[in-house]
Structure 1
Amino acid sequence: MPDTLTTRLAPGLALCLGLAACGEPAPSAEMEAIAERGELIVLTRNAPTTYFFGRDGEAGFEYDLASAFADHLGVRARFVLLDSVDDVVRALDEGKGDLAAAGLTHTPGRDGRFTFGPGYFLVQQQLICRRGGASPESPEDLADVQIMVTASSSYVERLEELRAQVPGLTWEARADLTTEQILEKVWRREVDCAVADSNIVAVNRRYFPELKVIMPLTEEESLAWMLPPDSRGLQRELNHWFAGLEDNGLLAILQGRYYGHVEIFDYVDLARFRRRIDSLLPRFRPLFEEAAGTHDLDWTLLAAQAYQESHWDPTARSPTGVRGMMMLTQLTAGELNVNDRLDPAQSIRGGARYLAALRERLPDSIQEPDRTWIALAAYNVGMGHVFDARGLARELGHDPDTWVELREVLPLLAQPRYHRRLRYGYARGSEPVEYVRRIRNYQDILIERLSVVSGQL
């Protein structure tokens, strides 16, 4: 199983566990077991909203959050990957993990079997069908459509509640399929509709743009980590740790990292992008790979940026006079030795060189991936405005080294009370925020599409 955060036991935790001191109740059996093992066993599943292998290794909202909690305990996190919610629930019930961090909703039906940590993310159950297919207009119409959900999920619990109002309501609960796989079945027209949490829908609708949100089936509900029923000591520690997350900003950072760029949904644009991945990208892919390799960039990032700039049209022109695949100004092209902005090879090489140079100009205190996101913002709005925004961020108590906080400050550059006293003055600061969000979105879709089509990047 994947192991992470190999650290020694924190002296503070060891003292509290060994002496039953620190003003807390005597250590519980499960906390002593965690300390003795030197690891926190986390049950999760491989999915884009929980745990996955990204370009730089293990990643995912649940992965990062659980790793941070294990670090707080002074132990390592060991992730046990399971195939479905049903498998996760069963494994926790059988005592195979300390907690389940798998995008699980805290529901009344689960309260009787398990203990929960604090809620950390609000989601809403949604009915999802395919464009051109079934389209029920009210809960009463659900009896007329074929619905599939993953077994042991909160969706089953909600459908059972709805059946009291809609006696003819039926559904198929699949223990062998994840929610993501069921959404793909809806997209392939193999089943009419599915039920899924809004965060899962937001991520997966980018890959399957014909999926359509028909109606919400619940109010907002909290995702929470699920613990064995006798884990009161671990629950106390979780409550204590989560109480400090708002102060240190970790939840906001993770929400920005994994969901900040998926809020956009433009069905026409995403459908066209998917078509152009097949029709246009093969022609330009070698150019992106060569230029990215020269400047230590990810070629899919460069391709996504080029699509945002020109939709991969080498002859593109904006009203302000920028031209070509990477939409370079005449001045910037000259500085980059790009003689013909309409030559895709020159434009891509020039754009890659320019982005790499911007990334190098940023202070060493900015780490990846924030460094790349901020460099992209500078490509769009100019480095001067980015430095202005960083200074303003410090002044307003934000962290200028993280994209999730800098993107909150950039739109303020359009307000006179701020830009009047800044070196570079006014800027449409919301544009680079949208620019970066779209590029991240395109890159995610591109990586997923290439993985499905060819099995390789």
Structure 2
Amino acid sequence: MRKFINVPSRLYLAGTLAVGLFLNSCSFFDKAPANEDPDQGLNVNVVEPVKRDYADIKENGVLRMITRYSSNTYFLHQGLEWGFEYEFVNKFADQHDLALEVVVIGPDENPYDLLNSGEGDIIAANYTRTPERKKYVEFTRPYNLVNQLLVFSENIPNAPQTIEEIAKQEIPITVRRNSSYYYRLQELKAEGIDLSINLVSNKKDTESLLYEISNGQYLATVADDNIYQASNKYMQGIKKGPVIAKNDTIAWAIRKNAPNLKTELNRFLYDHFRFGGPNESPKRSTFLNVLRKRYFKEGPHIANYYNPETNMLGGGVISPYDDLIKSVADSAGIDWLLVASIIAQETKFNPNAKSWAGAVGLMQVLPRYSEISSEEMLYDEEINLREGVRIIKEHLNHYSYMDSTDKWSFALAAYNAGQGHVADARRLVIDQNRDPNEWKNVSDALLKLMQRKYYKDARYGFCRGIETVRYVEEIKNRYNIYQTILTLNKESERNAGPGVLGIF
């Protein structure tokens, strides 16, 4: 099991752009390192994929999605996960009763290596199906068609209207070597159009390049039209140029030896995207159209919430309650990011939430287990936080003899299901001659307590163990997300000064 108390060695995130990722990527990945050759293609190291198909994913109960941090793939807004790719893949996961974890591609990581090594199961990052990519991965059926278009800086007063004019004016077009745009530009060069191509680090993404175009660092780049539409809503200084490729197919990438996963994904995608007849637009489901409108089309756009020029008042890096959570958690000697992760899981930072079971407030405190007699008082953010932290602290103390990872796993399980059900699971583990202090064993036992042959003899009876196991794993994974966001925020402040990253 991956440790979650220490800062992860790689950007490993679960299923749920941090504020200003495009800004952060400009400071984080400003130029290709001197020892890096931009002309190194996909630079794949893992070519033999691990054996993990749909049956293995179902048995494990977790689908791992590899993606980039960007406004159209995956990002955080007030501590919660958003993004076109995230919501679309999550829809598939929900229909197949799978938890979704997100693996964000780190600055020194290769998405194809992450996929083939088993770190993730599906690359969902607005990827075009290209011949070079097909050497290493299998693609699903498409779920979108996009046009590649040139994007110019407004520093070019009279932007060229054709690709030939660009070549004549010798305007350098800045792209990544591993992008589909590079291959299209090479095709145009092969057709006799003498284009000037400026290669930059493969660590950059399209959105960060667009931002650099907007502030005049480069003069031109290439983007898919949907990414341009999304970015144009919150970036100033970019303008659209001519289309250089039409109807590129966008699809998810999976391992070549996962035919059953491909079948399930294709069935799902067929319900949401189908090609029309000649001269007809593709047919999309209502759900897919809603996502397209939310992230790419006209009307209120999610990007409005993280426009870097917007002055967000009363917020923090993770949530609107960062300072309060830090104060309460620090006084109890608890990591405040774990408390924030619990709140995100319980109520999505809604202080007025009330569950069907009567749990109230940010941390869903049950009045009957609280030292505060008034339910109304438990809706006060600080009071609720102090009660929730007190309860989780008691659970931590109860399991204090365990190592840090297991201790937190058991405490979270007890916070969700109660110590009684956790104790039943531990007794079941002992009956099986296994270690009751290891979370992996107890999580397996919690799943068994959903079966009558096991819960009929349990002291506290039936337990919806799958919910508790997912609760624990999702909080731990969200904790990793929040650690990464803080790391990016500190890096951004060092490079660009305070205020660059703020709350979505």
Q: Please give the alpha-carbon distance, in whole angstroms, between the structure 1 residues aligned to 2:235 and 2:83.
A: 20
Counterpart residue type for residue 150 of structure 2: L
Structure 1 residue 104, shift from structure 2 partner: 0.8
1:250 aligns with 2:273: no
In structure 2, the residue matched to 1:20 is none
Counterpart residue type for residue 253 of structure 1: V
In structure 2, the residue matched to 1:78 is 101
In structure 2, the residue matched to 1:235 is 262
131-140 vs 72-81, greater mean Cα deviation: 131-140
1:146 aligns with 2:172: yes
In structure 1, the residue matched to 2:440 is none
Preserved CA contact (<8 Å) 1:124 1:218: yes
Preserved CA contact (<8 Å) 1:127 1:213: yes
Q: Which structure is higher in RCO with an 8 Å CA cutoff and minimum separation 6? A: 2
In structure 1, the residue matched to 2:152 is 129
Alpha-carbon displacement from aligned partner over 1:150-177 (angstroms, at most 9, x marks no partner): 3411111211111102245433142121
Change (3 A) 1:199 1:84: farther
Counterpart residue type for residue 15 of structure 2: T
Q: Work out which of the residue numbers 29, 45, 52 in structure 1 matches 2:75.
A: 52
In structure 2, the residue matched to 1:455 is 501
Structure 1 residue 93, shift from structure 2 partner: 4.5
**Equivalent runs, 1:19-38 vs 2, <5 Å:** 30-38=53-61
Q: Please, what TM-score do these two structures have when normalized by structure 1?
A: 0.51
In structure 1, the residue matched to 2:368 is none
Preserved CA contact (<8 Å) 2:173 2:196: no
1:261 aligns with 2:285: no
In structure 1, the residue matched to 2:15 is 4
Structure 1 residue 55, shift from structure 2 partner: 3.4
In structure 2, the residue matched to 1:188 is 215
Q: Please give the alpha-carbon distance, in whole angstroms, between the structure 1 residues aligned to 2:500 and 2:214.
A: 20
Structure 1 residue 210, shift from structure 2 partner: 1.7
Q: Please give the alpha-carbon distance, in whole angstroms, between the structure 1 residues aligned to 2:173 and 2:117.
A: 30
Q: Please give the alpha-carbon distance, in whole angstroms, between the structure 2 residues aligned to 1:84 and 1:107.
A: 22
178-187 vs 88-97, greater mean Cα deviation: 88-97
Structure 1 residue 229, shift from structure 2 partner: 1.9
Structure 1 residue 91, shift from structure 2 partner: 2.5
Structure 1 residue 263, shift from structure 2 partner: 9.3
Preserved CA contact (<8 Å) 2:115 2:255: yes
**Equivalent runs, 1:26-425 vs 2, <5 Å:** 30-55=53-78, 57-83=80-106, 87-133=110-156, 135-143=159-167, 144-165=170-191, 166-245=193-272, 249-261=286-298
In structure 2, the residue matched to 1:313 is none
Q: Please give the alpha-carbon distance, in whole angstroms, between the structure 2 residues aligned to 1:86 and 1:217.
A: 29
Aligned length: 262
Structure 1 residue 95, shift from structure 2 partner: 4.2
Structure 1 residue 199, shift from structure 2 partner: 1.3
Q: Please give the alpha-carbon distance, in whole angstroms, between the structure 2 residues aligned to 1:95 and 1:186.
A: 36
What secondary structure is seen at the aligned counterpart in 2 of 1:244?
helix
Change (3 A) 1:248 1:262: closer
In structure 2, the residue matched to 1:361 is none
Preserved CA contact (<8 Å) 1:85 1:151: no
Alpha-carbon displacement from aligned partner over 1:337-377 (angstroms, at most 9, x marks no partner): xxxxxxxxxxxxxxxxxxxxxxxxxxxxxxxxxxxxxxxxx
What secondary structure is seen at the aligned counterpart in 2 of 1:69?
helix
Structure 1 residue 244, shift from structure 2 partner: 2.4
Preserved CA contact (<8 Å) 1:85 1:150: no
Q: Please give the alpha-carbon distance, in whole angstroms, between the structure 2 residues aligned to 1:183 and 1:86.
A: 22
Change (3 A) 1:168 1:50: closer
231-240 vs 161-170, greater mean Cα deviation: 161-170
Structure 1 residue 108, shift from structure 2 partner: 3.6
Structure 1 residue 83, shift from structure 2 partner: 4.2
Q: Please give the alpha-carbon distance, in whole angstroms, between the structure 2 residues aligned to 1:159 and 1:152.
A: 12
Counterpart residue type for residue 216 of structure 1: V
Q: Please give the alpha-carbon distance, in whole angstroms, between the structure 1 residues aligned to 2:299 and 2:135.
A: 35
Q: Please give the alpha-carbon distance, in whole angstroms, between the structure 2 residues aligned to 1:84 and 1:69.
A: 28
Q: Please give the alpha-carbon distance, in whole angstroms, between the structure 1 residues aligned to 2:199 and 2:272.
A: 39
Alpha-carbon displacement from aligned partner over 1:45-89 (angstroms, at most 9, x marks no partner): 110000000236101111111111112222211110114798324
Structure 1 unaligned regions, length at least 5? 6-27, 265-269, 287-292, 294-450
What secondary structure is seen at the aligned counterpart in 2 of 1:220?
strand
In structure 1, the residue matched to 2:317 is none
Structure 1 residue 262, shift from structure 2 partner: 5.7
Change (3 A) 1:263 1:145: farther
Change (3 A) 1:98 1:133: same
Preserved CA contact (<8 Å) 2:185 2:195: no
Q: Please give the alpha-carbon distance, in whole angstroms, between the structure 2 residues aligned to 1:129 and 1:155.
A: 15
Q: Please give the alpha-carbon distance, in whole angstroms, between the structure 1 residues aligned to 2:235 and 2:102.
A: 29
Change (3 A) 1:209 1:111: same
What secondary structure is seen at the aligned counterpart in 2 of 1:42?
strand
Structure 1 residue 253, shift from structure 2 partner: 2.3
Alpha-carbon displacement from aligned partner over 1:158-204 (angstroms, at most 9, x marks no partner): 11111102245433142121111111111221111111111111111
Counterpart residue type for residue 76 of structure 1: A
Q: Please, what TM-score do these two structures have when normalized by structure 2?
A: 0.46
Preserved CA contact (<8 Å) 2:115 2:122: yes
Change (3 A) 1:455 1:241: closer
Q: Please give the alpha-carbon distance, in whole angstroms, between the structure 2 residues aligned to 1:139 and 1:85.
A: 33
Q: Please give the alpha-carbon distance, in whole angstroms, between the structure 2 residues aligned to 1:207 and 1:109.
A: 33
Structure (1/2) with the larger helix percentage? 1
Q: Please give the alpha-carbon distance, in whole angstroms, between the structure 1 residues aligned to 2:499 and 2:226.
A: 25
